[in-house]
Chain A
């Protein structure tokens, strides 16, 4: 039999061991998820983005094709209900109209889109260190089927989103962003495939510099 104080200490030690072990398991799972996502330099997927607004009856749905390239950034090609493409790069944002006309902008010109680009690149590239800088991470499941919950650490980000949830297996399959006031954005990614380089057509859209730099 232990004394009350010894029992309390023992219990505390067990709890601390358990917390330490859970944290280690979580960070191990996170590392496994990141390493399986990092296997591919390029990921292609079809997306369905649904914006639900508390004030409106009908959600706004856009569908299209996503290409994430570690070297070039994110290519977001909206196909329905209108055609428009965006390249979210580290240095610039490019909007490509349905007529093929490209409009390039520096990140300072479009800080909102630049922020979207940074978050997308971090999420799709499983850049956990970048995500941990801005969010508290909680993970469920294992590397074969996982869910990640991200809560903003900074009040500045919390103004725009209350929580972000990711789920997936080999690739990211879903992103849900809950906003203050009850609005949400849900992105489902389907038919994801990994590749080592973007296709010729994608390189054209990423830009001429990209096409040149990707040639062997």
Chain B
């Protein structure tokens, strides 16, 4: 499972992260776009469980995700439906750390950056990107553009996260991620 997940999802991403960034809060995304993690105080604390389906070139993989966000940071784990941990990463508002990674060459900040790009408020996402990158926000959709090209497109259904579902597309990596929210708790 780990091997497949690596080849399916992460190898295209590895190509984008081959050059590591000096700031441990920053990730290099597909399309050569840099995103620096924003404080977790930008969102209300929550705790969500999601079913995630990753598709690359017709190959699909299923994972169950648990994400906890509070004022102290964010903690994320991706598991197989049988409970084996595929990926685990956390951010304490200073640096990102990995518990488990499907490939040691991957940086944990990348996973957390994807989550923030989809879940954090648009203004906060803009603050994490270079000034040349555009964040378009419309009803049910968010697009991150670089020079007119879509880097990431997020479509929301059934309300904004963490309560609704979403579909995230990375055109340059030919990667699609369908996220179905299973269970949400607002925490203190």
Contacts and interface: CB of A to CB of B under 8 A. Distances in A.
B contact face: mostly helix, strand, loop, or mixed: strand
B99 A181 contact: yes
Interface string A111-123: 1110010000000
A76 B81 CA distance: 10
A82 B1 contact: no
Given A53-B88, A82-B51, A113-B82, A60 B1 contact: no
Given A53-B77, A55-B90, A55-B99, A103 B182 contact: no
B84 A116 contact: yes
A206 interface: no
Interface string A69-108: 0000000101001101010000000010000000100000
B25 interface: no
Contacts of B122: none
B75 A55 contact: yes
B104 to A, nearest CB: 14
B4 A109 contact: yes
A81 B82 contact: no
A167 B79 CA distance: 25
B185 interface: yes
Nearest to B51: A82
A109 B7 CA distance: 11
B152 interface: no
Contacts of A84: 62, 81
A58 interface: yes
Contacts of B4: 109-110
Given A103-B60, A110-B4, A112-B2, A58 B80 contact: no
Interface residues of A, number: 29
Given A81-B183, A103-B60, A113-B1, A86 B79 contact: no
Contacts of A49: 82-83
A4 interface: no
Give the interface size class of chain B: 20 to 34
B85 interface: yes
Interface in A119-161: 160
A166 to B, nearest CB: 16
Nearest to A85: B81
Interface string B97-116: 00100000000000000000
A56 interface: yes
A57 interface: yes
A150 to B, nearest CB: 17
A111 B77 CA distance: 21
A51 B66 CA distance: 11
20 contacts: A55-B77, A55-B88, A56-B66, A60-B49, A62-B64, A76-B81, A76-B82, A81-B49, A81-B51, A81-B183, A82-B51, A82-B182, A84-B81, A86-B82, A110-B4, A111-B1, A111-B3, A112-B3, A160-B84, A177-B83
Top-3 shortest CB links A-B: A112-B1, A81-B182, A185-B83
Interface of B: 1-4, 47, 49, 51, 60, 62, 64, 66, 68, 75, 77, 79-85, 88, 90, 99, 180, 182-183, 185
Given A53-B77, A81-B49, 14 more contacts: A49-B82, A51-B83, A55-B75, A55-B77, A55-B99, A57-B68, A58-B66, A82-B51, A82-B64, A82-B180, A103-B60, A110-B1, A116-B84, A181-B99
